[in-house]
Amino acid sequence: MANAKFPTARPVRVGVDTGGTFTDFVCEFDNRLHVLKLPSTPADPSTAIFAGLNRIAELAGVKLSDIEVVHGTTVGTNALLQRRGARTALITTRGFEDVLAIGRQARPELYNLDAVRPPALVPDSLRFGVRERIAASGEVLEALEDNELDALAAKLEAAQVESVAISLLFSFVHPEHESRIAESISALNIPVSISHQILPEYREYERTSTVAINACLQPLMGSYLKKLAVRAPKLRVMQSSGGSISAAAAADEPVRTILSGPAGGVVGALRAARSAGLENIVTFDMGGTSTDVALCDRAGLRMTNEAVVAGLPVAVSVMDIHTVGAGGGSIARVDEGGSLRVGPESAGADPGPACYGRSRLPTVTDAHLVLGHFGGSGLLGGEFPLDGQRAREAISMLAAEMSKAAGRKVSITDAAQGVISVVNTNMERALRSISVERGYDPREFALLPFGGAGGLHAIDLAIALRIPRVIAPTSAGALSAMGVVTADVVKDLSRTVMLEVAPGIDKKLETAFKELEQIAVGALRKEGFSESKQRRERSLAARYKGQSFELNIESPKGGSENIAASFHRAHQARYGYAQESDVVEIVSTKLRSIGIVKQFKEPRILGSRKSAWAKPHSSGVAYFDGTEHRIGIYQRDDLGAGMKLRTPCIVTEYSATTLIPEGAKARVDLFGNLIIELRDSKKSSSGRVARA
| Cα dihedral 455, 460, 465, 468 sign | positive
DSSP 422-473: HHHHHHHHHHHHTTGGGT--GGGSEEEEESTTHHHHHHHHHHHTT--EEEE-
pLDDT tens digits along 92-120: 999 999 999 999 877 777 888 887 788 89
pLDDT given for residue 509 in this prediction: 94
**Model pTM score:** 0.86
Q: How sure is the predictor about 76, in pLDDT bands with cuts at 50, 70 and 90? A: confident
Domain boundaries, the chain: 13-80+223-257, 84-218, 330-423, 488-595
Using the predicted structure, report yes or no on whether residue 344 has a pLDDT greater than 90.
no
Mean pLDDT score of the chain, rounded to an integer? Answer: 89
For the segment 252-269, the average pLDDT, to the nearest whole number, is 92
pLDDT given for residue 447 in this prediction: 96
> How far is it, in rounded angstroms, from Cα 622 to Cα 570?
47
CB distance 287 to 272 below 8 Å: no
Give the architecture-level CATH label for domain 488-595.
Answer: 2-Layer Sandwich (3.30)
What is the percent of the chain where pLDDT is above 90? 66
Helix axes 388-406, 412-433, angle to 10 degrees: 90
> How far is it, in rounded angstroms, from Cα 59 to Cα 48?
17
Strands 446-450 and 534-544 come out as unpaired
Using the predicted structure, report yes or no on whether residue 304 has a pLDDT greater than 70.
yes
CB distance 329 to 364 below 8 Å: yes
CATH for 13-80+223-257 is 3.30.420.40
pLDDT tens digits along 32-72: 778 899 988 888 999 999 999 999 999 888 999 999 999 99
Torsion (CA) 593, 279, 665, 287 in degrees, nearest 10: 30
pLDDT given for residue 255 in this prediction: 95
Using the predicted structure, report yes or no on whether residue 604 has a pLDDT greater than 70.
no
pLDDT given for residue 631 in this prediction: 92
The residues, any chain, with a CB within 8 Å of residue 561's CB and separated by 6 or more, are none
Q: How sure is the predictor about 31, in pLDDT bands with cuts at 50, 70 and 90? A: low
Burial degree of 95 (CB within 10 A; 0-12, 13-18, 19+): exposed
Q: What is the CA radius of gyration of the chain?
A: 26
> How far is it, in rounded angstroms, from Cα 34 to Cα 151?
57
SS3 of 483-518: the string is: HHHHCCEEEEEEEEEEEECCCCHHHHHHHHHHHHHH
Q: How sure is the predictor about 690, in pLDDT bands with cuts at 50, 70 and 90? A: very low
DSSP 347-380: -TTTT--GGGTS----BHHHHHHHTTTTTT--BG
pLDDT given for residue 679 in this prediction: 66
The residues, any chain, with a CB within 8 Å of residue 670's CB and separated by 6 or more, are 604, 605, 607, 641
Other CB atoms closer than 10 Å to residue 479's CB: what's the count? 32
> How far is it, in rounded angstroms, from Cα 294 to Cα 269?
10
CB distance 620 to 650 below 8 Å: yes
Which DSSP state fits 679? T
3-state DSSP helix/strand/coil % of the chain, to nearest 5: 35, 25, 40
Using the predicted structure, report yes or no on whether residue 687 has a pLDDT greater than 50.
no
Which DSSP state fits 297? B
Tell me the CA distances in angstroms from 252 to 217, 255, 266, 522, one per residue in order: 9, 9, 24, 17
What is the percent of the chain where pLDDT is above 70? 94
Q: Which CATH number fits domain 84-218: 3.30.1380, 3.40.190, 3.40.50, 1.20.1740?
A: 3.40.50
DSSP 197-231: HH---S-HHHHHHHHHHHHHHHHHHHHHHHHHHHH
Q: How sure is the predictor about 177, in pLDDT bands with cuts at 50, 70 and 90? A: very high
Residues 44-53: contacts with CB under 8 Å, at least 24 apart:
45/18, 45/73, 45/74, 45/75, 45/224, 46/224, 46/227, 46/228, 48/18, 48/23, 49/16, 49/18, 49/23, 49/228, 50/231, 52/16, 52/23, 52/25, 53/14, 53/16, 53/25, 53/231, 53/232
Q: How sure is the predictor about 655, in pLDDT bands with cuts at 50, 70 and 90? A: confident
Q: How sure is the predictor about 589, in pLDDT bands with cuts at 50, 70 and 90? A: very high
Which DSSP state fits 400? H
CB distance 350 to 358 below 8 Å: yes
pLDDT tens digits along 198-247: 999 989 999 999 999 999 999 999 999 999 999 999 999 999 999 999 99
For the segment 162-179, the average pLDDT, to the nearest whole number, is 96
Phi, psi (deg, nearest 5) at residue 667? -145, 170
CB distance 427 to 286 below 8 Å: yes
pLDDT given for residue 399 in this prediction: 96
Using the predicted structure, report yes or no on whether residue 688 has a pLDDT greater than 50.
no
